[in-house]
Amino acid sequence: MSASSPVVEVPSETLSLPALVQLLQTIFQRHGCRAEVARCLAENCAAAERDGAHSHGVFRIQGYVSTLASGWVDGRALPVVEDVAAAFVRVDAANGFAQPALAAARQLLVDKTRSAGIALLAIRNSHHFAALWPDVEPFAEEGLVALSVVNSMTCVVPHGADRPLFGTNPIAFAAPQAQGQPIVFDLATSAIAHGDVQIAARKGERLPPGIGVDSLGQPTQDPRAILEGGALLPFGGHKGSALSMMVELLAAALTGGNFSFEFDWSDHPGARTPWTGQLLIVIDPSKAAGQSFAERSQELVRQMHAVGLKRLPGERRQQQRERSQQHGIAIAVEQLQQLRALAEEG
Ligand code: NDP
Ligand code: PYC
């Protein structure tokens, strides 16, 4: 992230994926989640760590514990799934996490996608504190195309405005390829994810220019100035800003969830999870006319490589996944001690 940061070797221990999932599941259960929710969040968070998606891996556990302790989110919530139309599923997450809400509605969503060719899942009254690719990638592994958006918490200044309003509002997309892994991208519509700003602040690193402003609205490369009263900017100026606006509309206005600016967690010290909404759109490409979609996506990738492309979105994650599968998931010793202590608490 910082152009000049030296690489510092931190002592680490390696864990297998099942061992990490088990440790995280214990933490979630000890800190107020029912077993299914704990499993779901543990698998999500461990997968992020395995793939080197560090801004949403074990780094997030302290925030989960803090937000659960604050009473802001209900780790025992039972999502209510409603079959509202031929291609529309709605879930009230009941002030719980978004991932168990998706899990509860998933089979109905897939069945509707297979019969109607397309189906939507609108989740509201939900908290999403994770990477978004784990929500879409499994659909592409089943041959479906999936798009998801989630809004977060006010910390991004719309392009041309003076003060923050939008969340960091990621968009994730997954599509099958005839051979190999699905094509997946997952990106915040802010110039950088809030999690990466926090990580930079902890490490004492400076950020690249053009990412954020301080509390006076002045450009800054200091992550602490962004976190302490400052704000982020959208990526790509007016273009990222328009996409972020779209995410607010789809993830909140359409689902019945909160806009990023509509919730107030000040009565819940320690609250960390945005209380918003999430939309998923899943498409069955076999319903379309013409050649197989997976063959066509393979051809597109082939042509991209032919013109010199070295790295596809999602490829770094896949490579890290393979390394983790071979050698285990490396976690800094100090961080692992903290996780083990959290697993003993509660
Ligand atoms: P990045 O900018 O790191 O990456 C965005 C996408 O671009 C990824 O798919 C990545 O693939 C790909 N990519 C990155 N660099 C290159 C490159 N040089 N060439 C080709 N592809 C590239 O992610 P963000 O910082 O935008 O987001 C990080 C995470 O934060 C996401 O998982 C997002 O869902 C999460 N987030 C969650 C929020 C929430 O409310 N729950 C809010 C905001 C963000 P690869 O992964 O392989 O590097
Ligand atoms: O990294 O921007 C972020 C984020 C917000 C909510 C969860 N992650």
289 pLDDT tier (thresholds 50, 70, 90): low
Instruction: Let me know: does 201 contact 224? Beta carbons within 8 Å.
Output: yes
* Residue 194 is a catalytic residue: no
In the three-class reduction of DSSP (H, G, I as helix; E, B as strand; rest coil), residue 91 is classed as strand
**pLDDT score for 345:** 87
Cβ of 188 less than 6 Å from ligand 2:
yes
Instruction: Provide mean pLDDT across the span 57-76.
Output: 98
36 pLDDT tier (thresholds 50, 70, 90): very high
Q: Token digits for 168?
A: 């960091």
**pLDDT score for 146:** 98
Give the DSSP letter of residue 208. Answer: P
Residues 241, 149, 200, CA angle at the centre, nearest 5°?
65
Ligand nearest the Cα of residue 182 is 1
Does the pLDDT of residue 3 top 60, yes or no? no
**pLDDT score for 9:** 76
Nearest-atom index, ligand 1, CA of 194: 43
Query: Closest Cα to atom 2, ligand 1: which residue?
Result: 187
Q: Which residue of the set 31, 51, 56, 152 is catalytic?
A: 56
Neighbours of 167 (CB within 10 A): 29
Does the pLDDT of residue 7 top 60, yes or no? no
* 169 Cα to the center of ligand 2, angstroms: 8
- Domains in the chain, please, with CATH? 9-70+314-346 (1.10.1530.10), 79-190+239-311 (3.30.1370.60), 191-233 (3.30.60.50)
* 86 Cα to the center of ligand 1, angstroms: 33
Cβ of 129 less than 6 Å from ligand 2:
yes
* 83 vs 98: CA distance, rounded Å: 17
Q: 307-331: per-residue pLDDT in tens?
A: 999 999 999 999 999 999 999 999 9
Lowest mean pLDDT among 67-76, 223-232, 285-294: 285-294
* 231 Cα to the center of ligand 2, angstroms: 13
Does the pLDDT of residue 4 top 50, yes or no? no
Beta bridge partners of 148: 172, 280
Q: Which residue of the set 12, 55, 66, 70 is catalytic?
A: 55
**pLDDT score for 1:** 41
**pLDDT score for 215:** 97
Q: Token digits for 74?
A: 């209900």
Query: Closest Cα to atom 3, ligand 2: which residue?
Result: 194
* 188 Cα to the center of ligand 2, angstroms: 8
Cβ of 50 less than 6 Å from ligand 1:
no
* 278 Cα to the center of ligand 2, angstroms: 13
* 142 vs 11: CA distance, rounded Å: 39
Nearest-atom index, ligand 1, CA of 130: 41
- What is the Rg, in whole angstroms, of the alpha carbon atoms belonging to the chain? 20
- Quick one: what percent of the chain has pLDDT higher than 70? 97
Q: 112-168: per-residue pLDDT in tens?
A: 999 999 999 999 999 999 999 999 999 999 999 999 999 999 999 999 999 999 999
* Residue 196 is a catalytic residue: yes
Instruction: Provide mean pLDDT across the span 185-204.
Output: 97
Nearest-atom index, ligand 1, CA of 196: 25
Does the pLDDT of residue 343 top 70, yes or no? yes
Does the pLDDT of residue 8 top 80, yes or no? no
Instruction: Provide mean pLDDT across the span 34-63.
Output: 98
**pLDDT score for 311:** 97
Beta bridge partners of 330: 14
Ligand nearest the Cα of residue 198 is 2
Residues 279, 283, 288, CA angle at the centre, nearest 5°?
155
Cβ of 314 less than 6 Å from ligand 1:
yes
* Residue 55 is a catalytic residue: yes
